[in-house]
Every structure is written in structure tokens, then in C-alpha cells.
Amino acid sequence: MTHTTEDIALDHGFPGTRRSLTIHRFGPTSPASAPVPKAYIQAALHADEIPGLLVAQHLLARLAQADTQGLIRGDIVLVPYANPIGLSQAVLGTAIGRFALSSGVNFNRDFPDLTAQVADQVMSHLGADATTNVALVRRAAVAAAAALETATEADSLRKALLGLAIDADYVLDLHCDSEALLHAYTGTESWPEAQDLMADLGCRAVFLALESGGSPFDEACSGLWWRLRNRLTADGKQAPPLPAACLAATIELRGRQDVDDGLAATDADALMRFLVRRGLVAGDALPPPLPAGTATPLAGVDRVRAPVAGVILYRAALGDTVSIGQTVAEVVDPVTGIRHPARARTPGIVWARAEQRYAAAGAIIASVAGEKPLADEGSGLLTAR
């Protein structure tokens, strides 16, 4: 058996408190004679997004069973709760896990970009062999993450998570939306490589971007590779062979209320099929199912906003395809009773809606997956910093 656990304490906590991460590792307990693939999976970085917490427990049970059967072939790191700070936050009985109450900062933003530090270490050492180059970059990235300085407990959390994931082949960050279809975000350079993962999960929508803005966790891991390659070719030089060696994705496990054993078991089974197909767990590598949705640019997402403050009445269900100008919802002004239409700016599938049925003016109340960009790449394409 290869299953081990480790607790990593966070720095900069308040006096009398100690928060820590629990890390589950499956795989080689000593350096392997040949490199093995590594997968890193975490849940609930946004600590009030509960579905991932349950999926992680189902996945942990499956990995433990595979381990007892001697089926683990790669290096698998599972963090079943990625944010002990957020898990401890509540105001008047309401969990507040997306933002740090001490600063207002989104826990899934501002992850360090290690490109400059890694480039300084590897630029003069990269050669003609891509495999050797990948190993060199990974060692430098692990060292750069370990050397990060921290000033707050949230900084310490980011450092710990990045250090665990930065050298992985596959990084999966489990989240959920307010009320949503299963969907995911990944890098443009990770497509179509990630297509089998999305098909396994049954993603109804996949959003692609090189830079979404805000430096979320997944892009801190995968974006290192294409940013480094861009730096190496900045002066018109021919870069040594350096693939995008990290497939990272943020997986949105439907909506906040989609928490039950049936869904969690289905999602954990899908993740296991992916791990088998990618050689981390021994077994029959089944072909992926047909895709349940399509990949579109993140810049093409229409964030439908409430024109006034009021009560939301949806006129489009999750999964409906709408056209430009179609009413997605009406917002009823509680003073005048007037119903104000909120219309789509792009044709596409409605993949998310607001769980709360009262909205402030300008609040996002629905999201539509459009095929044509409505915003510039990297211009704050994600919601709520």
C-alpha cells in the first residue's frame, strides 16, 4: 500500500489558532527509476462550494481501494479540503468561503506567477530533449514555490497549494457555481487534450482562455508553461522544445445545492476513468463517451445582468439555447411592479443562473456560452474578484 497522509500547517494565523491542510498521497514512496505521471486534485478552494467536498470523499475511497489492490501507477495527490481558512468563516450562520473576511480578497485569485523565477533558473540549461527540459522546469518551479515569501495566512495557503501542484501533469480544481450545469475552465493550449476529461465528466460547457485575468489557481499551474515559452521566444529566438506539460482545469460541479451521494459517486467514477486512461491507475482504459457539450472562448461568455434591483423570474432554463435579444429573465421592481427584461447579448446555451432570486441592479443573474468574444482576453473574464 502506498497511501500516506500529511498535515501542512499554515503560517500567520491569529494567536491561539492553528489551521492546516490534510494531504493524501498515493504512489511511489521512494524515487521511481523512471518518471511517473502526477495528478493533483483539490476541493473547495472556495470553501462554501460544497459539492467538491463530497466528491473528494468518494474519490478518496476509490483511490484507497485501488491502492489496496496494488493498482496505483502514478503519483496522485488529493487535498479533500483546500481552504481551512474559508471553512472557518461564517457570518450570522451563513458560510463565507469565497472571500477572506480579513481582506475581501477572493481565495482563487492572485496566485503567484513563477515564470520569471523559473526562467532565470533554466534558460541557460534547456537543451534539445523535451523530456529533460520538462523535468528541469518542474524542479525549478518547485524550488521557486518553496522560496515564496508570505505575509498573511491566505498567502501561506496559496504557497502551500501551489507547491503541491506546480510539478503535476494534471491539476484538477473542484468548484461549483450558484445554480449551473456541470462545466469547466481550462487553457486554450490544453484543448483538445482535455477533451476526454470533459467528456468523462459530462461537461455541458467548456471555457477556454490563456489569460482569464486575476491569476486563479489553475492558470498559475498551467500558464507557467506557455508564459515561459513566450519568454524564451521574446527576442525572436527559436525556443528549445518545451511542451505545455500541465493540463489544469477548474471543474464546476453544477450548483451549490447539487450535493448528494449519487452525483458525487458519478463524478468520482468519471475522475477515476480519467486517471486510468492517463496511466495513473491500472485498469481497462475505456474510450471516453461522446462530448456532452462544446468548448467556447471564455471571452465569449455573456454575463446577463439585472437592469434594476428586484425579484428574478427566469424565462430560460438551464440548458436552454437562447438567441441574441431573447429575454433570459425578467426582474420585477418591488416598488412599481414593472417587469424589466434581461436579454442575451449572444446566442448560446444558458449554463448558469443565480440561486438567489432577488438581485441588485447590475448583478449577474445568468450566463450564456457564446462562440464569439465579447471581451478581450485577460480583461477580467472571471466573476467577482
For residue 218, give every residue at least 6 positions away whose Cβ sits within 8 Å of its Cβ, in sequence order, or none.
171, 173, 185, 186, 187, 248, 249, 250
Does 385 score more than 60 pLDDT? no
Q: Which of the two residues, 308 and 214, has the higher pLDDT score?
A: 308
Q: Which fold has domain 4-292?
A: Aminopeptidase (3.40.630)
Residue 91 has pLDDT above 80, yes or no: yes
Which helix H or strand E contains 305, and what residues bound it?
strand 301-305
pLDDT value at residue 33? 64
Which CATH class, in words, describes the domain spanning 298-369? mainly beta
Query: What digits encode the pLDDT tens for the residues 300-352?
Result: 999 999 999 999 999 999 999 999 999 999 999 999 999 999 999 999 999 99
**pLDDT at residue 379 tops 80:** no
Stretch among 48-52, 229-233, 282-286, 355-359 having the lowest mean pLDDT: 229-233
User: Which band of pLDDT confidence, cut at 50, 70 and 90, is reported for residue 88?
Assistant: very high
* Residue 378 in this model has a pLDDT that exceeds 80: no
The yes-or-no verdict on residue 222 having pLDDT over 70 is yes
Residue from 21, 9, 17, 81 nearest 51 by CA: 81
Whether the upstream peptide bond of residue 80 has omega within 30° of 0, thus cis, is no
* The predicted structure's pLDDT at residue 103: 93
Ranges of beta strands (E only) in 161-287 are 170-177, 179-180, 183-186, 205-208, 247-255
Cell numbers given for 100: 477572506
Confidence category of residue 28, pLDDT binned at 50, 70, 90: confident
Q: Which secondary-structure segment (H or E) carries 368?
A: strand 364-369
Extents of the domains making up the chain: 4-292, 298-369
Angle between helices 115-122 and 130-146 (to 10 degrees): 130
Please state the pTM of the whole predicted model.
0.97
C-alpha cell belonging to residue 275: 486517471
> Distance between CA atoms of 79 and 44, rounded to whole angstroms?
9
What percentage of the chain exceeds 90 in pLDDT?
A: 91
